[in-house]
Amino acid sequence: MRRMVLLEAIEKRLLEELNPKVRLVLETGRYLIDGGGKRLRPLITMLSCGMCGGDPEGALPLGVGLEYIHAASLLHDDVVDGAKRRRGRDSANLIFGNEVAVLTGDYMYAKALHLFSTYGNMEMIRTVSQAVMEMAEAQVLELSKVGELITEEEYFQIIDGKTGVLFGACVAVGGMAGGCSDREQLYEVGLRMGRAFQLIDDLLDYAGDPEKTGKPVGNDLREGKTTYPLLSVLGSLDRERVERLLGSVEPSEEEIESLRREVLSLGGDVRTKERAVEELKRAKELLGSFPENSYKEEILRLMDFVAFREL
């Protein structure tokens, strides 16, 4: 019930704050926002604020800013990846062109900082800008490693930047808005939650149901990306074969499918799920020192949603 009330307020404010003077910026921004998404970032920002004793409504514009940053990163990411689909429909870059997609992303990112300068404080701005720096760095790292077999350390550096740091910023910012002072601990709760989210995302790329996720399986292998399901069973695979496939410019669909199935038969899916659950366990432990209330319970429920989601 509470989650639905918060989600309604988030949807309304997401549309209200997006008010550029130029129509095409509005159309492009709205296209991405209307495309859906789980709104996990504003939700955990508001819940973290409530858990720490604040009125979650107070963190609404901050959560909206964090969702705009997420939206901006997706607009840019689809240009970088040359993606044609996003959230089950044509990507914004395909419809409006790369130039408009990048510039609308710039607008949304700046709008987010504007919201933070109005409703937040310097420490929050520092937290958020640090997260965006790490996101951009991790994207460059990921790009530079396409076609290569990467180490587990590099993998976690990439997924922390891709998803973890922004979740970390959400929990930290929300908590600070609610009056908590333990920024580091809050940040780590979010970081681990984001890590778990991305691990499950990477698992779904191997074992998801395309009907539910809206995307075909095997994309990461197809794009030459090493993710956890593969890394977790690498010791039982022929390393040279894996490297050849990742590095090949146009791998055959048979090769991709056969490696994908082998990773699953070796238990790569189970191991990835276990690792995600481990990250969430640590996040839950860290939450132990924060007040017990209905907002915290809702955060714990969201963590289970992250681990058991199918899309």
Which of Mg ion, ligand FPP, none does residue 171 bind to, with CB < 5 to 8 Å depending on kind? none
Bridge partners for 210 per DSSP = none
Shortest distance in whole angstroms from residue 137 CB to Mg ion: 16
**Whether the Cβ atoms of residue 131 and residue 169 lie closer than 8 Å to each other:** yes
Write out the residues near Mg ion by the rule CB under 5 A: 77, 81
Q: What span, in angstroms and rounded, lies between the C-alpha atoms of 297 and 3? A: 11
Shortest distance in whole angstroms from residue 301 CB to ligand FPP: 23
Nearer to ligand FPP, 5 or 311 (CB): 311
**Whether the Cβ atoms of residue 149 and residue 23 lie closer than 8 Å to each other:** no
* Residues contacting residue 284 through CB under 8 Å, at least 6 positions apart: 300, 303
* Residues contacting residue 287 through CB under 8 Å, at least 6 positions apart: 189, 296, 299, 300
Shortest distance in whole angstroms from residue 96 CB to Mg ion: 17
Which of Mg ion, ligand FPP, none does residue 73 bind to, with CB < 5 to 8 Å depending on kind? ligand FPP
Which of Mg ion, ligand FPP, none does residue 206 bind to, with CB < 5 to 8 Å depending on kind? none
Bridge partners for 89 per DSSP = 86
Which of Mg ion, ligand FPP, none does residue 132 bind to, with CB < 5 to 8 Å depending on kind? ligand FPP
Which of Mg ion, ligand FPP, none does residue 273 bind to, with CB < 5 to 8 Å depending on kind? none
Which of ligand FPP, Mg ion, none does residue 135 bind to, with CB < 5 to 8 Å depending on kind? ligand FPP
Shortest distance in whole angstroms from residue 182 CB to Mg ion: 33
Residue nearest ligand FPP, CB atom distance = 73
Nearer to Mg ion, 77 or 154 (CB): 77
Nearest to 74 by CA among 48, 38, 124: 38
Shortest distance in whole angstroms from residue 174 CB to Mg ion: 26
Nearer to ligand FPP, 45 or 287 (CB): 45
Shortest distance in whole angstroms from residue 102 CB to ligand FPP: 9
Shortest distance in whole angstroms from residue 77 CB to Mg ion: 4
Nearer to Mg ion, 81 or 182 (CB): 81
* Residues contacting residue 138 through CB under 8 Å, at least 6 positions apart: 157, 158, 159, 160, 161, 162, 165
DSSP string computed for 118-146: HHS-HHHHHHHHHHHHHHHHHHHHHHHTT
Backbone angles phi, psi at 251, to 5 degrees: -65, 150
Neighbours of 252 (CB within 10 A): 10
Backbone angles phi, psi at 85, to 5 degrees: -125, 145
Nearer to ligand FPP, 43 or 72 (CB): 72
Nearer to Mg ion, 86 or 111 (CB): 86
Q: What span, in angstroms and rounded, lies between the C-alpha atoms of 82 and 84? A: 7
Write out the residues near ligand FPP by the rule CB under 6 A: 69, 72-73, 76-77, 81, 83, 105, 109, 132, 135-136, 139, 162
Helix (H, G, I), strand (E, B) or coil at 250: coil
